[in-house]
């Protein structure tokens, strides 16, 4: 069965979103209500523990039921009683009600239950708006390789623009590539009165987003899958209250999700750009219940698709922003923008293009006490609109021939136009590139017109270089492409020792390293194992050093190579990657084949370059070792920031060579040396 490939770029859009949640309630009228004033009133039973005291006197927290154990002598500083509120801004914040207090030796054990903002604030208004910035990121958890936050190219003057690069496999042989940018602010308002209790709560999220997404498949597929590829944890926002030192602690958490939905058995290339402005939200009024509202403006730009058979698929990015309030789950909002193509050569028009947007939101009100609910609405906006279709006719159908007669600089290819479509074929040939999915804007031949087979001569190639080729045919309805084939030109010496220096001996310790020539670069074929500075054997086991080499922190890695060799720069890594055909395939050509050292399945590993990468794992700054047999991590000499460095990573279950800018200098990676 022939391999089918699909490629389409979906969705470049800009939108801003506001999600509002408003709810009201009333307390039962008291016999003699206290006077109403504008004064901000904190419950007299609330006790705020300052950060230094909290750190010095706390011995343990049971996260299951929030039983707290304190040192008895330090706790004497505070006078606690049953029913008091314990408030702290340490970590994600703490707001708990004391149920029991017991002593055990030199410890005081306090059992607590959940408290609410209504318990803490008897009267007052809070109106807060804060922007998320890169500097406020506490940590990022990446669940899939090939996704990283690029804080150089996406940097804004105020640090509020986040730029993500995406090149990851969401499913076997289904890859998502692209980037997206966003800014985001959140709004927090609450109003409480002594007479009415909780009167109003309002949450808002405002932001701008723009993204381009490409879906590439090496097989026909039917898929409905969504993954979370990264979670961003921000440092807490501490909102001071008018009664110091009391404060409300809010922690934003952002999940970035990718999705694919549909089927494809075709080659497809299309772009869609879209601008979207939205104002939408949820409101709760005691007399009216829940309601939603939405206002939006939209505009579109697109290019006609190029197709050979049939497809009906969409791809999307779905960011979801939520807030923790005193470590309790708060409101969330997610916006899903997507592009969709429907194409069938038996229909007229043969293709239709759609843009859609869906908005969902929800909130749990445990933290508010008076009004308890768990509400969500995934259809605040559920809108789809056709934005384009074929005007008339259908494109040709074409297949790509196998590449033959391969030399250092030439090769023979061709194709077969099996059907002309709705009009005569006026141009045909092959196009090629060192990047996947070449188009007629790349190098190409022109080989006549009409249907039937044709032969193409590829010239001007570079020795020992991988190329990708597709046949093409054009009629008045558009250009169609055949399936992609690949080949590597002859010549050069990839996988062979460097001319004249098959091995080197490190004069510092006598260890011998084989060499390998890859393109114009000469590399050592083994990881460095020179014992110097901050370097370690994995798990402090010397046998791991003998197999996988040592792990070096970055400063030590700069001097780990012997004389005449050096730690490669980011540009030198890129030169290697380009020579091997690009990031998407370079990893497989570098990894040692088989599973003697690599964890199964060691996806795509051929070691055709001779680099023979081994999975030496890594060591974090706390001294913990990770990922032996799973990952190979290599330093570059190029700094990304004062604390981070560009690096390259290989994974046992992915074929690409991944480029990261988030590798901390205090971590420890493997070292490969390149000749001066």
Cis peptide before 601 (omega within 30 of 0): yes
**pLDDT (average), residues 500-515:** 92
Tens-place pLDDT, residues 158-186: 778 888 888 777 776 677 777 777 777 77
What pLDDT does residue 15 have?
A: 37
Q: In the predicted model, is pLDDT for residue 674 greater than 90?
A: yes
* Position with higher pLDDT, 392 vs 544: 544
**pLDDT (average), residues 201-219:** 69
**pLDDT (average), residues 367-394:** 71
What pLDDT does residue 59 have?
A: 84
Q: Which of 291-300, 510-519, 618-627 has the lowest mean pLDDT?
A: 291-300
Domain 41-121: CATH architecture, name and number where available: Beta Barrel (2.40)
What pLDDT does residue 297 have?
A: 61
Q: In the predicted model, is pLDDT for residue 490 greater than 90?
A: no
**Environment class of residue 459 by beta-carbon count within 10 Å: exposed (0-12), middle (13-18) or buried (19+)?**
exposed
**pLDDT (average), residues 134-145:** 81
Range 147-156, long-range pairs (CB < 8 A, 24+ positions): 147/229, 147/230, 147/256, 148/660, 148/661, 148/662, 149/230, 149/232, 149/662, 150/179, 150/661, 151/641, 151/661, 152/640, 152/661, 154/181, 156/183
**pLDDT (average), residues 400-425:** 92
What pLDDT does residue 66 have?
A: 80
CATH topology of domain 397-488: Immunoglobulin-like (2.60.40)
Q: In the predicted model, is pLDDT for residue 156 greater than 70?
A: no
Tens-place pLDDT, residues 552-611: 999 999 999 999 999 999 999 999 998 888 888 899 999 998 888 999 899 889 898 999
Task: Report strand pairing: 644-651 vs 521-524.
Answer: unpaired
Q: In the predicted model, is pLDDT for residue 505 greater than 80?
A: yes
What would you report as the CA-atom Rg of the chain, rounded to the nearest whole angstrom? 31
Q: How confident is the model at residue 34 (pLDDT cuts 50, 70, 90)?
A: very low
What pLDDT does residue 23 have?
A: 34
Q: In the predicted model, is pLDDT for residue 70 greater than 60?
A: yes
Q: In the predicted model, is pLDDT for residue 374 greater than 70?
A: no
Q: Residue 652 gets which letter from DSSP? A: T
End-to-end CA distance of the chain: 47
What pLDDT does residue 30 have?
A: 41
The secondary structure of 281-303 as a DSSP string is EEEEETTTEEEEEEEEEEEEEEE
């Amino acid at each position: 069965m022939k391999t089918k490939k699909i490629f389409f770029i979906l969705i470049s859009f800009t939108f801003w979103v506001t999600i509002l949640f408003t709810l009201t309630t009333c307390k039962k009228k008291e016999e003699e209500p206290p006077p109403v004033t504008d004064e901000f009133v904190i419950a007299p039973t609330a006790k705020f523990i300052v950060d230094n005291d909290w750190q010095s006197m706390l011995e343990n927290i049971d996260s299951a039921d929030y039983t707290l154990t304190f040192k008895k002598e330090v706790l004497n500083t505070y006078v606690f009683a049953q029913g008091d509120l314990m408030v702290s801004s340490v970590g994600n914040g703490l707001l708990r009600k004391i149920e029991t207090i017991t002593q055990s030796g030199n410890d005081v054990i306090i059992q607590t239950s959940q408290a609410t903002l209504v318990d803490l604030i008897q009267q007052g208004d809070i109106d807060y708006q804060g922007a998320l910035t890169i500097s406020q990121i506490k940590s990022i958890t990446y669940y899939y390789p090939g996704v990283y936050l690029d804080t150089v190219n996406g940097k804004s003057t105020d640090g509020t623009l986040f730029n993500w690069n995406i090149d990851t496999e969401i499913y076997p042989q289904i890859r998502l590539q692209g980037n997206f940018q966003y800014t985001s602010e959140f709004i927090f308002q609450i109003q409480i009165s002594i007479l009415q209790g909780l009167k109003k709560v309002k949450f808002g999220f405002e932001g701008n987003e723009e993204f381009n997404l490409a879906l590439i498949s090496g097989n026909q597929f039917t898929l409905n899958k969504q993954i979370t590829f990264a979670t961003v944890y921000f440092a807490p926002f501490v909102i001071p209250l008018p009664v110091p030192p009391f404060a409300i602690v809010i922690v934003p958490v952002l999940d970035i999700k990718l999705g694919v939905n549909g089927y494809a058995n075709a080659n497809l290339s299309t772009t869609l750009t879209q601008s979207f402005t939205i104002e939408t939200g949820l409101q709760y009024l005691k007399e009216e219940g829940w309601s939603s509202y939405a206002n939006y403006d939209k505009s579109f730009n697109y290019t006609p698709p190029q197709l050979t058979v049939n497809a009906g698929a969409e791809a999307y990015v779905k960011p979801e922003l939520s807030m923790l309030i005193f470590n309790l789950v708060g409101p969330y909002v997610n916006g899903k923008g997507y592009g969709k193509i429907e194409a069938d050569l038996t229909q007229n028009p043969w293709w239709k293009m759609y843009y859609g947007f869906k908005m969902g939101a929800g909130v749990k009100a445990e933290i508010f006490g008076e009004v308890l609910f768990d509400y969500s609405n995934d259809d605040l906006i559920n809108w789809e609109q056709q934005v384009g279709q074929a005007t008339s006719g259908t494109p040709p159908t074409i297949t790509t021939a196998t590449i033959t007669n391969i030399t250092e600089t030439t090769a023979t290819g061709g194709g077969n136009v099996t059907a002309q479509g709705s009009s005569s074929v006026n141009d045909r040939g092959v196009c090629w590139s060192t990047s996947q999915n070449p188009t007629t804007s790349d190098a190409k031949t022109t080989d006549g017109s009409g249907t039937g087979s044709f032969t193409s001569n590829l010239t001007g190639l570079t020795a020992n270089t991988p190329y990708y080729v597709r046949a093409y045919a054009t009629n008045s309805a558009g250009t169609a492409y055949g399936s992609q084939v690949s080949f590597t030109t002859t010549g050069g010496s990839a996988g062979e020792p460097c001319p004249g220096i098959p091995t080197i001996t490190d004069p510092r310790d006598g260890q011998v390293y084989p060499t390998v020539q890859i393109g114009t670069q000469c590399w050592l074929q083994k990881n460095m194992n020179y014992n110097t500075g901050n370097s370690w054997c994995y798990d402090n086991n010397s046998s791991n050093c003998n197999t996988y080499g040592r792990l070096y922190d970055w400063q030590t890695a700069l001097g780990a190579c012997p004389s005449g060799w050096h730690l490669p720069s980011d540009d030198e890594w890129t030169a290697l990657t380009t020579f091997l055909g690009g990031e998407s395939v370079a990893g497989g050509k570098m990894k040692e084949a088989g599973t003697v050292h690599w964890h199964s399945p060691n996806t795509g590993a051929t070691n055709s370059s001779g680099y023979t990468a081994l999975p030496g794992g890594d060591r974090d700054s706390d001294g913990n070792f990770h990922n032996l047999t799973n990952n190979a991590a290599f330093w570059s000499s190029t700094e990304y920031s004062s604390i981070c460095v560009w690096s390259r990573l290989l994974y046992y279950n992915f074929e690409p060579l991944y480029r990261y800018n988030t590798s901390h200098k205090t971590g420890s990676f493997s070292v490969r040396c390149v000749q001066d």
